[in-house]
Structure 1
Amino acid sequence: MPYVPPPELASLSLAEIAAQVAARKLPPLSQWTPQESGNSEMRIAADGRWYHQGGEIRRPAMVRAFSSLLMRDENGQHWLVTPFQRLSIEVDDAAFIATDMQARTDPEGRPALTFRLNSDDIVICGPEHRLRVGGTADLPAFYLAVRHGTEARLNRSTYVQLIEHALAGHGDELVVESLGQRFGLVPQP
């Protein structure tokens, strides 16, 4: 069966987005305790492209499958995890890239920010998927928690969408709210 990407975020209500998120079946990485460790000889570049032994992985279905097996440990090391093995993977910046953002309102009237990733995953920002700001005031970098310790870096157009949303909702104050959480958008020194 061929892979059919989810519809564009702009065309979906928050309920439809939540249904898309719930429908995504992910492996239970936290339940697996692989006995073998090794090196995957893979790398995720800062621009989100995946490489194996120096050659780019060009099949989106393979990248999507591998991305569902990703986790990051407490030391910041990324791993591809199966029930039998965990293989280290080099990640230049973040494991994912956020490529789109839409603002919606939840049934309680609270703002909800939704993000599409380069893996076609959809993430709703909130208590479990927090935004954080890195970098400097001159060159900030925005990250969204995805799953199992991994993060997505917002690409330039998504960062612009986020800043425009913040300015529209809070005037000159660079903050956003999503599912009852408030996130500052200015890097802290």
Structure 2
Amino acid sequence: MPYDLPDDLAKLSLLDIAEAVAARRLPPVDQWHPGEVIDSKMRISADGTWYHEGSPIRRSAMIRAFSSLLMHDAADSRYYLVTPQCRQHIDVEDAPFLAVQMEHKDSALAFRLNTDEFVIAGPENPLRAEGDPDCPAIYLAVRHGCEARLNRSTWLELAHWALDRSDDLSVTSMGAHFSLQPK
């Protein structure tokens, strides 16, 4: 089945984005607890490139499929691809997703990920700042303990948007307030 790219984030209303988020049917990886654990021989680099046995995965449809099975286990701080039969460890250099586009819609900040998914920042998907105050890294909660790091252009766009509205480099989305400065 061919993959239809979602519309451009800038052209969508907040309702359209929320409907796209709700329509994405994802596997219930948080409900699966298989006993077998193996190494997937996969890695996600800091730039968002997925690798299998050292070679980049070039098919975006495969990356989208694998990313739907991804979870972070807080108990052992590892990432896994989860199926009903098996948990496969996957190495992640920074964050498994990249936020590559941002739009302000009504009272919300919407992001497009490198997997062409949309995430709306808010209480369920908070933003957090890490790193050095002079060079922060901003992360957006996606699902199952996984986050997206805002790429440089998206971070700069968010910072400019925040500075146009306040002096404290913070943003509000869906009623939740987020500082863009590391603590």
Q: TM-score range by the shorter chain?
A: over 0.9
Post-superposition Cα deviations, 1:8-50, rounded to whole Å, max 9, x if no partner, equal 1100000000111111110011111112101000000000000
Compute the displacement of 1:76 (Å): 2.0
Which secondary structure does the structure 2 equivalent of 1:10 belong to? helix
* Total equivalences in the alignment: 182
Of 165, 178, 185, which residue of structure 1 is paired with 2:180?
185
Of 134, 137, 156, which residue of structure 2 is paired with 1:138?
134
Q: What are the within-5 Å matches in structure 2 for residues 141-180 of structure 1?
A: 141-170=137-166, 172-180=167-175
Q: Is 2:48 aligned against 1:48?
A: yes
Q: Is 2:113 aligned against 1:113?
A: no
Q: What are the within-5 Å matches in structure 2 for residues 88-107 of structure 1?
A: 88-105=89-106
Q: Which amino acid aligns with 1:140?
A: P
Which secondary structure does the structure 1 equivalent of 2:143 belong to? coil
TM-score normalised per structure 1:
0.95
Partner of 1:84: 85
Q: Which amino acid aligns with 1:28?
A: P
Partner of 1:128: 124
Q: Which amino acid aligns with 2:117?
A: D
Quote the Cα distance in structure 2 between the aligned partners of 1:43 and 1:139: 25
- Structure 1: gaps (5+ residues): 106-110
Quote the Cα distance in structure 1 between the aligned partners of 2:182 and 2:38: 36
Structure 1 runs of 4+ with >2 Å offset: none
Q: Which amino acid aligns with 2:37?
A: S
Partner of 1:108: none
Post-superposition Cα deviations, 1:28-74, rounded to whole Å, max 9, x if no partner, equal 11111112101000000000000000000000000000000000011
Root-mean-square deviation (CA, aligned residues, Å) is 0.7
- Structure 2: gaps (5+ residues): none
Quote the Cα distance in structure 2 between the aligned partners of 1:133 and 1:116: 18
Identical columns (%): 57
Q: Which amino acid aligns with 1:43?
A: R
Post-superposition Cα deviations, 1:131-153, rounded to whole Å, max 9, x if no partner, equal 00011012210000000000000
Quote the Cα distance in structure 1 between the aligned partners of 2:70 and 2:18: 22
Quote the Cα distance in structure 2 between the aligned partners of 1:79 and 1:91: 10
Q: Which amino acid aligns with 2:177?
A: R
Quote the Cα distance in structure 2 between the aligned partners of 1:80 and 1:50: 13
